[in-house]
Structure 1
Amino acid sequence: MRALHVITGLGVGGAEQQLRLLLRRLPARCDVVTLTNPGPVAEGLRADGVRVTDLGMRGNRDLAALPRLTGLIRAGRYDLVHTHLYRACLYGRAAARLAGVRAVVATEHSLGDARIEGRRLTPGVRALYLAGERLGRATVAVSPTVAERLRRWGVPAQRVRTIPNGIDAALFRYDPALRERARAHYGIPPDAYVVGGLGRLTAGKRFGVLVRALGELPRDVRLLLVGGGDEERALRRTARDLGVADRVVLTGERPYLPDPADPAPGLPGLLSAMDVLAAPSAEEAFGLAVLEALAAGLPVLYTTCPAVDDLPPGSAPGARRVPGGAGAYARELLRLRGAGPGDRSIPPAVRHYAVDRTARQLMDVYTAVLAGSTLEVRP
């Protein structure tokens, strides 16, 4: 089977790194096209032996990208096209149809109740999404929560299959040596209590809640934010205004696996450096950062996380929901700090989301779509 994955960009993000993890396990010959931003994940894919093409798209309305993508699909003689993220789903589905490929799958990574990948869900955005969805044969939802949102929009249930994001638990296993090196790299004292945040620095992630909570916490508490985005300047300004700038570390985007030439630690080392992960986003489609932290044996405080909430009670005993703002997070962080370090054990939730299982489920969808059969609806 020859499959082409089309994604909006390949900077460091959950959907992008998820694609790299999956391609290491899918028993298919896969190439990747990124519409724009061939960032660190593109370099990682190439290191894995995957052919990556940058379409060089100049913006959302660069319609010249459509015939270029159509020609690339036709020349590659692909059996199946799999699209990821909003812009790539629109252009990729249309280009696949124009190229004569009818086996088209899309994964919906980031659909919330009010936003999709940070953009507001206006009637126009929703109508365009639904028009594009009809050009494919199946839409993969990363959680039952997202699947239900799609069905409420009017996507036929028989076209939606829930396949959660997968995690390579071994990659994130706690490592005291990585903890020491990561803290030393960023000048974090060995005895500091480190609150971590992981994700794009956008308004929707609400990392400002953690900066404000830091102002209510003891001086030995540090905040380690891993990610990049347009909210970085605002977060730094808030930290300065509250007098906690010297206790906030912003690492920028960090990949799962660091470049050997890059002295900065990768995500596994940064998770080892933390004592707790806090995820205050009020609207998540899955909550991959929470799972990665659980795989590192960290306690987690979160506001929304379908990956945890969709599982039976007790699947993630180290994860606790915090519905409030800075004050509520500060109180919970003080409670955890007072309780002392845990044993870094791995909860059942992590095993449930093993990436090998995700890859097998995705291959089932590919087989059904190529055969032209109806998907079996599963929760």
Structure 2
Amino acid sequence: MKILHFIDSLGYGGAETLLTNYIPELKEHDHVIVTFSDTNFYREITNQYACYNLDGNPVKNLFKIVSRLKKIIAKENIDIVHSHSYWTNIISRLATPKRKKLINHYHFADFDTMLSNYKVRLQLIIDKTIGHRNLRRVAVSDYVYGILKQHFPKGQNSCLPNFVNTPANSELKLYPYTKGTPLKIVAVGNIIHEKGYDVLLPAFEKLKQYPIKMDVFGEGDSMEIYINELHRRGITALKFCGKQKSTPALLQQYDLYCSCSTSETFGIALIEAVAAGLPVLISDIPAFKEIAPDSAYFFKKADSDDFFNKVTDIYQNGITAVASEYKYLLQKYSKPVFLEGLRDIYQH
């Protein structure tokens, strides 16, 4: 079969990481990649496939983009269209012939977390209105699957959890933190509002007396704002370090992984931290409660005082991971399990 994979861009992100990790494994199929943007940080992978850039805003140039995608589907003789974002989902329905199989992947939870926003309510109406005879909606977690079941109860909905791309047969080594020793915390994620980094500023003002440091790796338009605010508050133990690829070697330089996200649909960076053997401190959002180990420390999302309390508790009492929990999660969210599920979706 020939599969067209449709995504906003190939910048850094969970959906992009997922797509560029699974396509090379599906050697029994031919692949075509289509994006709205020419941003591409994965050329060593995508250069192996036919790639098209629609080069346009999906809202302002809707009909033009639909027309271009229709032509690509016909030219490449596509059997399955697989899209990965809100607007790629909608446009794929308008462009894909009704006899073709269409898969819309849901990597977002806006229909739960942002439904008070009138624009999101409008997007939900559009999603409900524009259909396709052979459409299957695919959720990246049980949490997102519940959202799909709520809003599209008569649709064909599936749950296919994301995976972490760990080397085959890699050994799990745990890195417990010993109480009272200098504590080094790491966070990985784009510098955007949903990552909840605002909670760190007042907390680290109060943590100045403790030997606790935190590095945040990621890029985004808000980075300069955070850096300036750190200078204004005289905070030196918290640093925004820019983009760096999340690897076991990087994560294992730290004692604790942290995510302050106020909204996630899965949490690939969290499972990467599990693969690196780090204890974790995370916000109590539904997606994290679903995939985190039982030994994880949770704090109330957007609650700086609770974050401070949990960090100081870890410093005073230590924290360690539980090997059996970590091994279970790494098996559950492994590439082979994901590929088996994806192949089943493609075939049925």
Provide the secondary structure at the position in 2 that maps to 1:302: strand
Contact preservation (8 Å) 1:7, 1:83: yes
Q: Any idea what SS the aligned residue of 1:277 has?
A: strand
Q: Is 1:206–2:199 an aligned residue pair?
A: no
Q: Secondary structure at the match of 1:283?
A: coil
Distance 1:69 1:46, change over 3 A: same
Alignment of 1:168-247 (within 5 A): 168-170=165-167, 193-217=183-207, 218=209, 220-244=211-235, 246-247=236-237
The answer to whether structure 1 residue 24 and structure 2 residue 24 are counterparts is yes
For residue 11 of structure 1, give the secondary structure of its aligned residue in structure 2: coil
Report what 1:338 is aligned to: 316
Q: How does 1:1-379 map to 2 (within 5 A)?
A: 1-26=1-26, 27-41=28-42, 43-46=43-46, 49-58=48-57, 60-63=59-62, 64-97=64-97, 102-112=100-110, 113-115=112-114, 122-134=120-132, 136-157=134-155, 159-170=156-167, 193-217=183-207, 218=209, 220-244=211-235, 246-255=236-245, 266-310=246-290, 316-324=293-301, 325-340=303-318, 342=320, 345=323, 346-368=326-348
Residue type at the aligned position of 1:238: E
Q: Tell me the CA shift for residue 123 of structure 1.
A: 2.2
1:37 Cα deviation (Å)? 4.2
- Where 1:169 maps in the other structure, the secondary structure is coil
Alignment partners' CA distance in 2, 1:55 and 1:202: 26
Aligned residues between the structures: 334
Runs of 5+ in structure 2 lacking a partner? 176-180
Cα deviation, 1:147-180, whole Å, max 9, x if unaligned, reads 11112113425x000110011233897899xx9x
Structure number with higher relative contact order (C-alpha < 8 Å, ≥ 6 residues apart): 1
Rate the CA distance shift 1:173–1:231 in 2: closer, same or farther, 3 A: farther
- Misfit runs of 4+, over 6 Å: 171-176
- Following superposition, the deviation at residue 352 of structure 1 comes to 0.9
Give yes or no for contact 2:4–2:78 (8 Å, CA) kept in 1.
yes
Indicate conservation of the 8 Å contact 2:282/2:288, yes or no: no
SS at match of 2:96: helix
Unaligned runs of 5+ in 1: 180-190, 256-265, 369-379
> Would you say the 8 A contact 2:37–2:55 is kept in 1?
yes
The offset of 1:308, in angstroms, is 4.8
TM-superposed deviation, 1:216: 2.1
Give identity over the alignment, percent.
Answer: 22
Contact preservation (8 Å) 2:162, 2:338: yes
Closer, same or farther: CA 130–251 of 1 in aligned 2, 3 Å: farther
Opposite residue 227 of structure 2, the aligned amino acid is R
For 1:202-230, what per-residue CA distance to the aligned partner results, in whole angstroms no more than 9, with x for missing partners? Answer: 11211111233222224532221122223
| Distance verdict in 2 for CA 1:236–1:168, change over 3 Å | same
Structure 1: distance between partners of 2:100 and 2:131: 12
Work out the CA distance in 2 between the residues paired with 1:115 and 1:44. 36
**Quick check: 2:143–2:287 contact (8 Å CA) kept in 1?**
no
Specify whether residues 269 and 211 from structure 1 end up closer, same or farther in structure 2 by C-alpha distance, changes over 3 A only: farther
Alignment check: 8 A CA contact 2:3 2:79 kept: yes
